[in-house]
Amino acid sequence: MIRTQGLTRRFGDLVAVEDLSLEVREGEIVALLGPNGAGKTTTVRMLAALLAPTGGQAQVAGFDVAREPQAVRRHVGVLTETPGLYRRLSAWRNLEFFARLYGVRDPRPNIERYLVLLGLWERRGDPVGTLSKGMRQKLALARALLHEPAVLLLDEPTSGLDPESARSVREFIQELAGERRAVLLCTHNLPEAERLCSRIALLKTRLIALGNPEELKGQLFGTKVLVKLANPKPDFLQGISLPFVKEARLEGPTLAMRVEEPERHNPILIRRLVELGAEIQYVTQEERTLEDVYLELVEGEDEA
Amino acid sequence: MRLKELVAKEWEEVFKIRLVLFSSLFMPLLLAGLAAYLVWQGRNLPQEAIGAQVALFNTALMYFMVLPVMIPVTIAVYSIVGEKEQGTLEPLLATPISDWELFLGKALAAILPALALTWGVFGLFLAAVWVMLGGVPGMVLSAPWLLSLLLLSPLLALLGVLVTMLVSSRTTDPRAAYQFSGLAVVPALVPLIVYSARQAAVNLFLVGLEGGLLLAVDLAAFWLAVRLFRREEILTRWK
Ligand SMILES: Nc1ncnc2c1ncn2[C@@H]1O[C@H](COP(=O)(O)OP(=O)(O)OP(=O)(O)O)[C@@H](O)[C@H]1O
Ligand SMILES: [Mg+2]
């Protein structure tokens, strides 16, 4: 549904996005993650045929963004970084206007549907200027959906929402992807990306990593096995100097080890420890958060 | 279709602003009233004072040349700066509206009311003069006057819009945009002031000359404004 090859955008001398190759399939939510100025919004704008790429290509909903921009616009729903609504017009009128521009013949059923789904039905007649920030954000999301686009580009959809609203919007986005749409979601909220997205693209002008959250964590840190002992002894460290143990340390009562293939090697390791007389209380896997991964990658890129 | 939607939206939005309502409804009525008063003042001055009469009549006509610039400037300032200020340009440009439709929609939303109001209050002015004087003076119901209204007004309205478009793309402050765009009123004033100073009535030569000049300036401004109204330009260069 979205496919880019070597997508690049320069502003004069500044390279905002460089050589981005990415694919988002039908029914999939992919997170576009990256620090401020990483080029997320620029990417969204290129995919929405708002900005022309200065290099590379992108197909969105089957159309080329550079050659068939109008077709792309017809099939894409965009939630822009700021809601961008007419403050003096009512919520309903805002949606109606945009729906008509998208060529929706009778927008009423969809306007009603999305206003109800997003909890804005009661406020439909109020001027947008009198709505709260979160309500405007939701209204802008509704606007992105009126023409039932196959591809959704959401630039920070939950920024500025209270936890409850953020959650309802997240659930809503999940349903949308369930309706066989492709969703690209820019966010700074790592737990959100982890919960919602099947894959994460880490962008910092260039694509620095791509994969599902588990893969990213594994790729970066390997997995650490933690064994909590009732009788920690430095002797155990010598006892387990096996070829597949890459690193072993005793941290208080816990033996922390990095092994090549945990699922195959852990049983051997544990048997060995038991033979050495270790009294094992717990065996766990070290939890790395997506935040660790993110910071590691982004900072690593800085040094490079 | 999209054009109609856009124009309807512009009117709905912009006429909710008090300043716009004021300058597009109250000002035309006020100026038409003043014009009628001037014509009444100059109704039967003696032959020696013909110069004064001409000046009064020219000033009356000038009011009807100012209106078609002032109204579109006011509307366009708010319809363009307002769009920037509310951050609606990006979602607007994300729709399949063409650059042309956007440009034309903004222009028509400002020009159409300007012409309708100018011609409307000119009709009221004629009626008022007719009532007050029992007839309309020949100098008023003359070819130069009527041509000014039919030919120069649209050209002036176009100039007002185009200048506002150029200025508004560079600022987010409606007041500043308003002040700079107001300069578009100069071509409406200068020729009539010059003629009045020479105590000469507007004639077809003046109307033709001004029409030609306005057309040239309009074309140049149009060329520039169309270039400004490209998606890429709007998103990356407008401040
Ligand atoms: N119109 C423009 N003209 C010049 N430079 C631009 C323009 N738009 C974006 N840039 C630059 O491109 C880079 C990427 O910006 P972009 O807005 O895409 O970042 P982002 O990842 O969305 O950041 P954020 O998380 O802050 O929203 C930045 O260095 C920015 O200054
Ligand atoms: Mg951004």
Residue tagged 């966010």 (tokens): A187
Whether residue A13 has its Cβ less than 6 Å from ligand 1: no
Residues B47-87: tens digit of each pLDDT: 777 778 888 888 888 899 999 999 999 999 999 999 999 99
Which ligand approaches the C-alpha of residue A155 most closely? 2
Residue A244 and residue A246: Cα distance in Å, rounded?
6
Q: What is the pLDDT, as a whole number, of residue A241? A: 84
Report yes or no: A70 at the B interface, CB cutoff 8 Å: yes
Phi, psi at residue A297, to the nearest 5°? Answer: -70, -45
Which residue would you say has higher pLDDT here, B175 or A40?
A40
Q: What is the pLDDT, as a whole number, of residue A41? A: 95
Give the helix/strand (H/E) hosting B48: none
Please name which of A104, A97, A1 lies closest in space to residue A47, comparing C-alpha atoms: A1
Q: Closest CB to A102: pick one of B13, B89, B96.
A: B96
pLDDT at A296 over 90: no
Give the helix/strand (H/E) hosting A122: none
Q: Pick from A11, A54, A187 the residue to mutate for probing ligand 1's pocket: most ligand atoms within 8 Å of its CB.
A: A11
**Sequence-ordered list of residues with C-beta below 8 angstroms from that of A153, at least 6 positions apart, any chain:** A44, A47, A48, A76, A77, A78, A79, A184
Residues A122-143: tens digit of each pLDDT: 999 999 999 998 899 999 999 9
Domain boundaries, chain B: 2-236
Which of B13, B90, B98, B172 would best serve as a mutation to test chain A binding (most A beta carbons within 10 A)?
Answer: B90
Label residue B195 by pLDDT band (50, 70, 90).
confident
* CA of residue A81 to ligand 2 center, whole Å: 6
Residue A99 and residue A154: Cα distance in Å, rounded?
18
Which residue would you say has higher pLDDT here, B196 or B121?
B121
Residues A167-175: what's their mean pLDDT?
90
3-class DSSP state of B149 = helix
How many C-alpha atoms does A296 have within 13 Å on its Cβ side?
A: 13
Chain B residues in contact with A140 (beta carbon < 8 A): 91
Range with the poorest average pLDDT among A175-189, A217-231, A273-287, B208-222: A217-231
Distance set, CA B192 to CA A9, A36, B72, B155, B179 (Å):
52, 57, 21, 16, 22
pLDDT at B4 over 80: yes
Averaged confidence pLDDT in chain A? 90
3-class DSSP state of B216 = helix
Radius of gyration (C-alpha) of chain B in whole angstroms: 19
Residue tagged 């200065």 (tokens): A54
pLDDT at A185 over 90: yes
Which ligand approaches the C-alpha of residue A34 most closely? 1
Identify residue B46 by its one-letter amino acid code: P
Residue B216 and residue B222: Cα distance in Å, rounded?
10
Q: Closest CB to A74: pick one of B91, B96, B236.
A: B96
Q: What is the DSSP letter of B26?
A: I
Please name which of A153, A90, A159 lies closest in space to residue A126, comparing C-alpha atoms: A90
Averaged confidence pLDDT in chain B? 89
Q: Closest CB to B91: pick one of A11, A52, A143.
A: A143
Residue A190 and residue A167: Cα distance in Å, rounded?
14
Label residue A109 by pLDDT band (50, 70, 90).
very high
Q: What does the block give as tokens for B212? A: 């030609």
Residues B92-136: tens digit of each pLDDT: 999 999 999 999 999 999 999 999 999 999 999 999 999 988 888
Whether residue A230 has its Cβ less than 6 Å from ligand 1: no
Flag if A88 and B6 touch (Cβ within 8 Å).
no
Q: Contact B89/B234 with Cβ under 8 angstroms?
A: yes
- Going A67 to A69 to A74 to A77, the CA torsion angle's sign is positive
pLDDT at B39 over 90: no
Residues A220-272: tens digit of each pLDDT: 666 788 889 999 888 888 888 888 888 888 888 998 888 877 788 889 888 98
* CA of residue A33 to ligand 2 center, whole Å: 10
* CA of residue A36 to ligand 1 center, whole Å: 8
Q: List residues of B whose CB lies inside 8 A of any A CB.
A: 1-2, 5-6, 9, 12-13, 16-17, 86-98, 231-232, 235-236
Chain B residues in contact with A85 (beta carbon < 8 A): 86, 88, 91
Q: What is the pLDDT, as a whole number, of residue A219? A: 67
pLDDT at A108 over 90: yes
**Sequence-ordered list of residues with C-beta below 8 angstroms from that of B237, at least 6 positions apart, any chain:** B169, B228
Q: Contact B76/B168 with Cβ under 8 angstroms?
A: yes
* CA of residue A39 to ligand 2 center, whole Å: 7
- Atom of ligand 1 at shortest distance to CA of A188? 25
Q: What is the pLDDT, as a whole number, of residue A290? A: 75
Which residue would you say has higher pLDDT here, A155 or A290?
A155
pLDDT at A303 over 70: no
Instruction: Walk me through the domains of chain A, giving residue ranges and CATH numbers.
Output: 2-217 (3.40.50.300), 224-285 (3.30.70)
Residue B60 and residue B54: Cα distance in Å, rounded?
10
Q: Contact A153/A113 with Cβ under 8 angstroms?
A: no
Residues A274-289: what's their mean pLDDT?
85
